[in-house]
Each structure stands twice: as C-alpha cells, then as structure tokens.
Structure 1
Amino acid sequence: MAPTLLPVEDFDAETDCNKIRAAFSGVGTDEKTLIDVLCKRSHDQRMAIAKLYKTMFGKDLVKDVKSETSSNFREVMVSLCNSRANFLARICRNAIRGAGTSEGALINVLVGGTKQDIAEIKDAYTKKYKKSLEEDIADDTSGALKHVLVSLLQGNRCEEGVSHEQATKDAKELFNAGKGMWGTKESTFNKILVSRSPAHLKRVFNEYRTIASGDDIENAIKGEMSGDTKNAFLGIVRVIKDAEMYFAEELYKSMKGIGTNDDKLIRLVVWRSEIDLAEIKECFKIVSKGKTLEDFISGDCSGDYKRSLVALC
C-alpha cells in the first residue's frame, strides 16, 4: 500500500505548536500555515502536536481549530486533529445522527476497515459518545442492511488461507441463494461475504463465474438486491477484489455531476491518505478517463478547502 501523506523528517512538535498558535493570533486565521503543518504531518506526528499543544497553551487543539476555521475547511482540519479511531467513530456518529441515516458512510467505513480499525472505532465510539456503536446502528437501520452492518462490526473475518473445496461449496451456496432461486436469501450472502478471508473469497468469486456460466457475482447482487443492502454487498465484493479501485470509484462518485458530496470526499481523502491514496489516485485516472484526482478536486472545490485536500494528495 502506498500513502500520500508521510512523516516529515526533522519533525519538531514544539515548533509546529508555535506555528499553529501564531496562525490563530491577530486578526483572522493564517490558513496557509495550518495547511502547511496539519496536511504535511503523519497521524502520529499530528497526535504528538495535539498533545504538546495542550501542555504548552492549556488549550485543546481540536476546539481551537473549530473556533478559528469554518465550513468544509474546518471539517478537514478537525478530522486531521483527531486520532484515526476518533475520526472514524465521528464519521459513524454523524452518519447515524440527524434526519435519517447516511448508510453510505457506514458502508465505506465498515467495509473498508481492517479488524483492528473496527475494534478501535468501537472502543473510541463508546468512550466518546457513551453509547455502543452496534446498538446505535441496530436502532437506526433495518432489514438485511442492519444484519450486514452488525456482522461487519464483529470484526470476525477469517484470516486463514484458501480451501478449494470450501470455495466451490460457498460459490454454489451463493448461486442458489440468488440467481438459482425465486427471490434472494440475503442471509447466505451475509454469512459468506462477511466471514470468509479475502483470499478465500477471491477463489469463491472465480468459482461462482464457472457455476454461473461466466456471470459475475456483482451482476447477481445488482440483479437480485436493491438500495443500501445492494450497495453494502457490492462494497464488500469490490473491496475484496480491488480495494483501491473501489475507493477510486467512491471518490469519483462524490464529485461526478452537479454538486459535491463533501462529507464523502473529505472522509475518503483524509482516511486513505495514510493508507493507499497513491494507488487510489492511479485507479482514479482509469475511472475518470485520464483526469487526476487533484484535477477533479480543483474543479469541484475552492479556497482553503481545495488547497487542504490537494495537499493531502
């Protein structure tokens, strides 16, 4: 995996704290300094800055950033000042709160998160909001989608290798639960897609094509399911097949057409910048037919918001 945001050499947390504090002094805020510091430091370096900032000035960095910035630029800066677990827990909380539930955000985080990510998100969520993420999701979603999300939250995906015999059996079960029957048995898809190892599922998908006379598991999901349940299962399949391409497609969808899904754009750029954004950017050029991620961001965003996202790329 290739991140775009790397640790800076000769890191000095005290110097960075003084730069940030100076950016908040006087009339207005020096947004360029905030971008130069927070968008060019690794997660561990930013956490060291946040900790020392409170020691040096007796103030919380997140609260100061919130009060000194606004709109989407503030969301980027606040996201960078939070630990990764708190950042992802906050995304889940915002997805659940308010009118309706933003299932797309939950699907992105839970489908794209590792077992360690999910354990840390659940712990951070409980500490920050004094509630269980699993209970909140169960209360705010329903049907097959609820079962998928709750299953993903368990973080119990097998990490063992591939069994050809079991892969063939799983592929037959998936076919019989979808195209091979009247209606769809989502519980079978849930059981197999959430619990099996990525290497095993890749074999299952290949076996499925043989059983289904060349048809792909994605086409079965698209044809047999709808709405957020369909998107959740498609997300799982696409992450297993090619996670970087999945996130490139999600980034493209956040900016395609009229308007921008800023929540999704910020979430994915900040999150993946320290994991695999360099590879996602290469996939993005394929999805967008040659345009770079930076080109799209520059066309859809403006001002310090645009500059902060481009800096993370």
Structure 2
Amino acid sequence: MIIIKPQYFDMFWGTLGTVRPFPNFYPDRDAADIQAALERKGTGRVGAERSSPDPDALKKVLSGDLEELLLQLVMPPEQLEAQRLKAAMAGLGTDEETLLEILCCRSRKTLQEVAAKDLEKELKAETSGDFARLVVALLNKAVTAGSVQRDVQALAASLSGKKAEAGPWINILTSRDSNHLDKVLMELELETGQTVDQLLEKHFSGDFRLGLRVLVQCIQNPQVYLAQRLLTMKTSLVQGIMVSHSEEDLLPIRAAFLRLSGSSLYSTLQKHFKGEQLLALQAVCRSED
C-alpha cells in the first residue's frame, strides 16, 4: 500500500508559493489515484500537485530526471537542501554557485535544520580559505543587531590596506537582516563612489569574490538572482530551484523571470522539457504569467 500524507504540513493560504494545501484532501481516494498513476507510470502531475507518494514506490517505476524531481517533491525542505548541498560537493570539483545559492537564499530556520545534518564538516573539507569561512558562516548565520554607520566604516576600512580584509565582509554580511544590509551597501557606495560590484572586483578574487557577489545579489533581490539561474534551463537547477521555492516564493521568482526574459517560466519550460517531466514542472510552476 502507498501511504499518502499532505505534502506541506505548516503551509497556509496567502503565501507566495505555488504549491499549497489542497482544500479537498481525501487520503484514501488520492492513494488510489497515485496507485493507478504508478501502475501506468503517469505520475508527473499527480505527484506534483498535492500528495506525497511513498518514495520506494516511485523508485520502482521511475528513473532519471523525472525520478529525481518527484523524489524531491516528497522531501521536507531541509532534507531537499541537504541533498542538493551534498550533490554540489559530490565527485571531482565542487559546484560553488549551487552551494552559494542555497546558503544565501534559504531561511535561517531551514539552514539550522540543514546544519543539524552534519554538513559543516563536508563544507570545510570541500572548500578552503576565506571562501570556507564564508560558507560556514552562511550555514550557521544568526541575525544580530548593528549600526549602519559602524558597519559601513568597518567595510570601507577593510579595503584601505594593501590587501583587503575578508573578516568584516564575512561577519557583517552573514549576521545582519536584509533591510539593514540594503542600507549598509547603499551607504558604502555613496562613501566610496563605487558600486559594490566594482569594490568586489577590485579587492577580492576567486571563489571568495564569487561568494560575496552572490550574497550581495541575494541581499538586494534574491528572486532576481534565482530567476537568472533559471534562465540557463539546466535540468538540475530548474528542478532544484522550483521545488525548493515552490511553497515560499516561486510566484515572485516567476515574475522576475518574465521581466528578465520577456517570456513566462511556464511557456519557457515547454521549449526545454517534455513528457511527464514537463507536466510535473508545469504543475509546480502552476500557471502562465
């Protein structure tokens, strides 16, 4: 027997997500629908819209990208993000930008639950130097109060020597709320006469510069940053981002995608995917813009 449960226990109407509680949830009926879908392997739309079929049952009839997508849909957010982080560190080389996307865009609550899965050691093993310090600080970020003027002075002073100091950037950008940091970054640009991106280009390099750039983009407008990632239409990115943000803020990400590309996410998916995978992604996307 396939056990069905509501997919998102603590969601509520009025969120900016696209996956929401199903108003007429009948476990027995939905279990029968899922069972029939599995038997005919037509699982895309059913699995994405409201119910969580048993993962073992899905694995028996699915494979490849569709299997990965539907398994992601049945995971709690912290489990999904932990899996994506592990995948970004697997094999030769590390997918630094996916690490940054998750660590910079996800809520403190979700990251606290991810951190409980002992990922800090893996992050330290796969990264080094200032970049390692940054990603670990992001994983364990805790918001503390600060003075805008003092933070601006600390960041400006860190750039005044022969070699820029990474510490203030890590400490301040990972420990203040986004509204505070918006003010800090605007004041820093006024004080230095340069954009933040110009400052980062001039004073930092490598993975650490990439990390600060992604962090700044996510402070200023995370939905635009995620929409830019979706423009690649790379399967792992599209599935990971859409599922990860489906219950919280996929609607503003869709709006940002439309502004950036001139086409809706829903229509763009049709050009790059097909079959059950397309049906599942469009069910997560929910509608045309």
Residues 1:167 and 2:148 are matched in the alignment:
yes
Deviating more after overlay: 186-195 vs 215-224: 215-224
Tell me what 1:137 maps to.
123
Distance in structure 1 (CA, Å) of the matches to 2:125 and 2:255: 39
Distance in structure 2 (CA, Å) of the matches to 1:220 and 1:300: 37
Correspondence for 1:200 among 180, 192, 197: 180
Correspondence for 2:224 among 207, 228, 245: 245
Deviations 1:261-285 (A, max 9, x none): 2211111011111111111111111
Instruction: Give the conservation status (yes or no) of the 8 Å contact 1:122–1:133.
Output: yes
Correspondence for 2:164 among 175, 184, 192: 184
Q: Which amino acid aligns with 1:14?
A: D
Q: Which amino acid aligns with 1:167?
A: V
Distance in structure 2 (CA, Å) of the matches to 1:14 and 1:95: 38
Distance in structure 1 (CA, Å) of the matches to 2:57 and 2:102: 27
Instruction: Give the conservation status (yes or no) of the 8 Å contact 1:172–1:211.
Output: no
Residue 98 of structure 1: how far off its partner (Å): 1.5
Instruction: Give the conservation status (yes or no) of the 8 Å contact 1:209–1:217.
Output: yes
Correspondence for 2:272 among 285, 289, 300: 300
Larger RCO (alpha carbons 8 Å, 6+ apart): 2
Instruction: Give the conservation status (yes or no) of the 8 Å contact 1:79–1:270.
Output: yes
Distance in structure 1 (CA, Å) of the matches to 2:210 and 2:239: 20
Residue 39 of structure 1: how far off its partner (Å): 1.2
Tell me what 2:49 maps to.
40
Q: Which amino acid aligns with 1:137?
A: L
Distance in structure 1 (CA, Å) of the matches to 2:162 and 2:275: 53
**Aligned residues: CA RMSD:** 1.8
Distance in structure 2 (CA, Å) of the matches to 1:276 and 1:154: 22
**TM-score under structure 1 normalisation?**
0.81
Tell me what 1:83 maps to.
76
Distance in structure 2 (CA, Å) of the matches to 1:222 and 1:308: 40
Q: Which amino acid aligns with 1:38?
A: G
**Could you say what secondary structure the match of 2:134 adopts?**
helix
Tell me what 1:281 maps to.
254
Residue 173 of structure 1: how far off its partner (Å): 2.2
**Could you say what secondary structure the match of 1:240 adopts?**
helix
Classify 1:176/1:39 alpha carbon distance in 2 versus 1 (closer, same or farther; 3 Å): same
Correspondence for 2:191 among 211, 217, 222: 211
Distance in structure 2 (CA, Å) of the matches to 1:219 and 1:303: 44
Unaligned 5+ segments in structure 2 are 1-14
Classify 1:295/1:223 alpha carbon distance in 2 versus 1 (closer, same or farther; 3 Å): farther
Residues 1:114 and 2:107 are matched in the alignment:
yes
Deviations 1:21-41 (A, max 9, x none): 22223xxx432xx22322112
Instruction: Give the conservation status (yes or no) of the 8 Å contact 1:79–1:87.
Output: yes
Unaligned 5+ segments in structure 1 are 51-60, 126-131, 256-260
Residue 218 of structure 1: how far off its partner (Å): 2.6
Tell me what 2:141 maps to.
155
**Could you say what secondary structure the match of 1:267 adopts?**
helix
Higher helix share: 1
**Could you say what secondary structure the match of 1:155 adopts?**
coil
Deviations 1:59-118 (A, max 9, x none): xx1122122112111111010111221111111111222122222221111111111101
Instruction: Give the conservation status (yes or no) of the 8 Å contact 1:171–1:204.
Output: yes
Distance in structure 1 (CA, Å) of the matches to 2:28 and 2:246: 24
Q: Which amino acid aligns with 1:17?
A: A
**TM-score under structure 2 normalisation?**
0.87
Count of paired positions: 271
Instruction: Give the conservation status (yes or no) of the 8 Å contact 1:104–1:228.
Output: no
Residue 149 of structure 1: how far off its partner (Å): 0.6
Distance in structure 2 (CA, Å) of the matches to 1:250 and 1:294: 15
Instruction: Give the conservation status (yes or no) of the 8 Å contact 1:238–1:246.
Output: yes
Distance in structure 2 (CA, Å) of the matches to 1:308 and 1:235: 29
Residues 1:262 and 2:235 are matched in the alignment:
yes
Q: Which amino acid aligns with 1:87?
A: L
